[in-house]
Structure 1
Amino acid sequence: MQAELTLKDIYLARQRIATLAERTPLLRSESLSRRWGCEVWLKLDNLQPTGAFKLRGSVNALSGLESEQRERGVVTMSTGNFGRALAYAGQHLGIPVKVCISHLVPDNKVEALRLAGADVVIHGATQDDADTQARRLQHENGLAYISPFDDPLVIAGQGTCGLEIMEQQPEIDTVFAGLSGGGLIAGIGLAVKTINPQAQVIGVSMNEGAAMLESLSAGHPVQVGEVASLADSLGGGIGLDNTWSFAMTQRYMDRGYRVDEAQIARAMLHLFNQEKLIVEGAAAVGIAAVEQHQIDLRGRRVALVISGQNVSPKTFAQACRLAGENDHAYL
């Protein structure tokens, strides 16, 4: 029987990642606070050195490797941001990193992976295909496989984001974050709910290919089809042999929402127009969920995790066009 992660693991992770990952700002959004009738704060993890929250878990996972494994190196699959973070951390820690991605990963993220020092392997049409290739390389080359989400050290590292939120604004009672493989929600949920058990932790996925939400509905991990989305970093499955993130998401996430592409586009444009932030679709899904589902947040203290800024000009232009084709009065 595996041991459960605790808040202590997140504190230990914070010590390990301090030299490479930033303690990011939590800034009040005047525009959203007025619109929703509550206090809204933006957790700006787009300001991490690699442009996304994934650096937290990557550094913690690599720091936990034995010296022999550090020499042989590691392999992962990624939609872009985790691989980039792992490669960045690997360069600083002297650990070779191989990253398997699918053909769905945008060109800007592929180039960023290579610039970060990753040995990039493009394989298959989905992240499940890329994961199969990563597992193959793990066994063929004696590499350590690091999951972007289903790994206790990764989850503890991502949990430092939730710990910072509660330290920066202890009265936060609602946290929105993107939901993909569940590593971010699991880590944030553990931190936030250990500190304030009454707090609400809300995950948001795109309409199609929401693997974790489908799995939670089924009561066990399931496979889903993967489609292109403005929130491309939320794509991919959770693994049928999921060990950590599925159970922790079940335990710590209070509600999950799906959002359509038009709402994601509108939210991205809002963050650009009102907050002067250029972000990925996955970073804007919290706003999209509140708007699309008309969630009543009056009187609450809300944190939105702005998870990353690694959006290509092509994708951002697509979001602007899509938002322009729809009613976007709230912008």
Structure 2
Amino acid sequence: MQSSPMLRHPLLEEWLGCEAWVKHENHNPTGAFKIRGGLNLLAQLSPEDRRRGVISASTGNHGQSIAFASRMHGVRCRIVVPVGNNPDKNAAMRAYGAEVIEHGRDYDEARIRVEQMIGGGSGAAGCCIVRGALGAKTKIVGVQASGADAFTRSWRGPARVTAERVNTFAEGMATRVTFDLTFAILEEMLDDIVLLDEPELEEGVRAAMRLTHNVAEGSGAAPLAAAKQYGQKLAGKKVACVMSGGNIDLKTLARIVASAV
């Protein structure tokens, strides 16, 4: 797989007031950074494991990565998604050959049958690990939707919490729980976290289109909105935003764009 591009966008830099680079993971074959995990997993499975097939829970991007890699290796793939999940992501998983099973009201209920990480900080945790390996002094900031803030409350508070429900259009962030592996890494290594409300997430999607000419889903555009929220703190600094995915459904995109017209 080719490296995803890392680009500067003059309009974005003007909007943020700093030198800004965007890592375009939305340009990957499945439209999201999670393809890396799927390819790595399927490449490491034994022939016996591949014969049994794979199953995972997902709201879409992780599921697409598993389905994509499974097709490459000729492995049967089943993905459990929440009822009412993003229809475009469901269609993409089926196009890659996966059997899509609807179960539960959200990701955390879908994963009752299977255990896989999504929206639990895997991208930020990976950045923290790489920073440590390189000995860099880069500050790493996580981003979460205020309507799905279990991780933020756990990270800032005295104990880990589980939310009763989530309320955000950004399904890539819509998780009610924290995950042992990523939380252990981020609890120690994450520098800060930014909470975004729904209007801010929507503005991030519009900013991606208007300033970088890219279509990004809510979680993929969230770093742009978070950088904007940081405001003057970024003046004179270099900032990198990971545009983690571009798999937004057409109905949601149309609503967000129309709200600004």
Q: Does the aligned pair in 1 maintain the 2:16–2:228 contact within 8 Å? A: no
Q: Secondary structure at the match of 1:124?
A: coil
Q: Which residue of 2 aligns with 1:12?
A: none
1:125-164 CA-partner distances (Å, limit 9, x unpaired): 0111100033xxxxxxxxxx5x235xxxxxxxxxxxxxxx
Q: Does the aligned pair in 2 maintain the 1:262–1:323 contact within 8 Å? A: no
Shift of 1:120: 1.0
Shift of 1:292: 3.2
Pairing 1:312–2:249 present: yes
Matched ranges for 1:126-165 at <5 A: 126-134=106-114, 147-149=116-118
Residue among 207, 212, 226 paired with 2:146 = 207
Unaligned residue ranges in structure 2 (runs of 5+): none
Unaligned residue ranges in structure 1 (runs of 5+): 1-20, 135-144, 150-179, 325-331
C-alpha distance in structure 2 between counterparts of 1:295 and 1:190, whole Å: 28
Q: Which amino acid aligns with 1:259?
A: L
Q: Secondary structure at the match of 2:147?
A: coil
Q: Does the aligned pair in 1 maintain the 2:150–2:162 contact within 8 Å? A: yes
Q: Does the aligned pair in 2 maintain the 1:181–1:211 contact within 8 Å? A: no
C-alpha distance in structure 2 between counterparts of 1:228 and 1:65, whole Å: 36
Q: Which residue of 2 aligns with 1:42?
A: 22
Q: Which amino acid aligns with 2:133?
A: T
Shift of 1:198: 1.5
* Greater CA drift, 188-197 or 255-264: 188-197
Residue among 184, 207, 225 paired with 1:288 = 225
222 and 96 in structure 1: CA distance in 2 versus 1, 3 angstrom threshold: farther
Q: Which residue of 1 aligns with 2:207?
A: 270
Q: Which residue of 2 aligns with 1:168?
A: none
Q: Which residue of 1 aligns with 2:130?
A: 191
Residue among 46, 50, 57 paired with 2:37 = 57
Count of residues in Structure 1 that have an aligned counterpart in Structure 2: 261
Matched ranges for 1:221-260 at <5 A: 221-238=160-177, 242-260=179-197
Task: Report sequence identity in percent.
Answer: 30
Q: Which residue of 2 aligns with 1:96?
A: 76
Q: Which amino acid aligns with 1:60?
A: N
Shift of 1:293: 4.5
Q: Secondary structure at the match of 2:166?
A: coil
Q: Which amino acid aligns with 2:61?
A: N
Pairing 1:303–2:254 present: no
1:216-238 CA-partner distances (Å, limit 9, x unpaired): 23444432133342322111234
Q: Does the aligned pair in 2 maintain the 1:226–1:235 contact within 8 Å? A: no
Q: Which residue of 2 aligns with 1:121?
A: 101
Higher relative contact order (CA 8 A, sep 6+): 2
Q: Which runs of 4+ in 1 moved over 4 A?
A: none
C-alpha distance in structure 2 between counterparts of 1:251 and 1:52, whole Å: 26
Q: Secondary structure at the match of 2:140?
A: strand
Residue among 52, 67, 77 paired with 1:87 = 67
Pairing 1:182–2:110 present: no
| TM-score, structure 2 normalization | 0.93
Q: Does the aligned pair in 2 maintain the 1:204–1:285 contact within 8 Å? A: yes
Q: Secondary structure at the match of 1:125?
A: coil
* Greater CA drift, 85-94 or 228-237: 228-237
1:250-288 CA-partner distances (Å, limit 9, x unpaired): 122110011011111112112112211111011111121
Q: Which residue of 1 aligns with 2:91?
A: 111
Q: Does the aligned pair in 2 maintain the 1:87–1:116 contact within 8 Å? A: yes
Q: Which residue of 1 aligns with 2:4?
A: 24
97 and 237 in structure 1: CA distance in 2 versus 1, 3 angstrom threshold: farther
1:156-177 CA-partner distances (Å, limit 9, x unpaired): xxxxxxxxxxxxxxxxxxxxxx
